[in-house]
Amino acid sequence: MKTDSSNNENTFKRGLFTALYTVLILVLLLVSTAKAWLPAIGRWFVVQTKIANADAIVILAGGGPERLCYGIELFKRGIAPELWYTGDKPLETRSDFMDSEQALNFALRYGVPKEKIRILPSTSTFEDGKVISDLVKEKKIKALILVTSWYHTRRAANVIKHSMADTNIAVYISSSTNLPFTPDNWWRDEEGLVSVVNEIIKTALYWRKYGLAPF
């Protein structure tokens, strides 16, 4: 006659086997369908609009130099008369050398007049939205072109939409294609994998902290 302890042990073993078997099936299913859902994740992060003439091109700091290069390219095409660059930290948090200073020098070297460049103080995408919104209202801007990396466009668009909810400004969102990874193959590149995973985490944090739903 089996005791209660042996019955409990058998039940535990059956439950453990079922759980492990279920996990194995899920893993195999995920691996076998990876070519479908991994690109879908990448494409989901992309928010792009057609661009038109605007009052300023706003380049969001972060990522790599492709954002700045693309913004300068748009400026030199005459699409907007000003170039804004975010990410200039407040004085109390500054180091001796800032990304914004490097961006300014880079833009000057590539022919953007200094008087056409404006550096905006911010330390995050959420702060980007605030300083951009303040300047838009101050200068009575009617249209902006927002430049960032493709994987960052959804969160950036949500932040700008939130920050400018009380305005009628037209915001065009565009990203450079000059990256070694795309929405369709980001997981195959180390930089792409890190960038997209970080963006997944930050998107979730912005949803929780600021109530910015990503859809």
pLDDT tens column, 139-153: 999 999 999 999 999
Q: How far is CA 188 from CA 35, 63, 86, 97, in A?
A: 11, 18, 30, 33
The predicted pLDDT at position 164 comes to 94
Across 13-17, 179-183, 204-208, least confident range:
13-17
The predicted pLDDT at position 96 comes to 46
Q: What pLDDT digit, counting tens, does each position of 29-49 carry?
A: 555 667 789 999 999 999 999
Q: What pLDDT digit, counting tens, does each position of 151-178 carry?
A: 999 999 999 999 999 999 999 999 988 8
How far apart CA 16 and CA 4 sit, in angstroms, is 18
Angle at 197 (CA atoms; ends 196, 202), nearest 5 degrees: 95
pLDDT reading at 78 higher than 90: yes
**pLDDT-based confidence at 98, cuts 50/70/90?**
low
Domain limits, the chain: 4-32, 44-210
Across 32-36, 64-68, 84-88, least confident range:
32-36
**Residue position matching structure tokens 């950036």:** 156
The predicted pLDDT at position 101 comes to 83
The predicted pLDDT at position 177 comes to 80
Regarding the domain with residue range 44-210, which homologous superfamily does it belong to in the CATH classification?
Answer: HUPs (3.40.50.620)
How far apart CA 135 and CA 163 sit, in angstroms, is 12
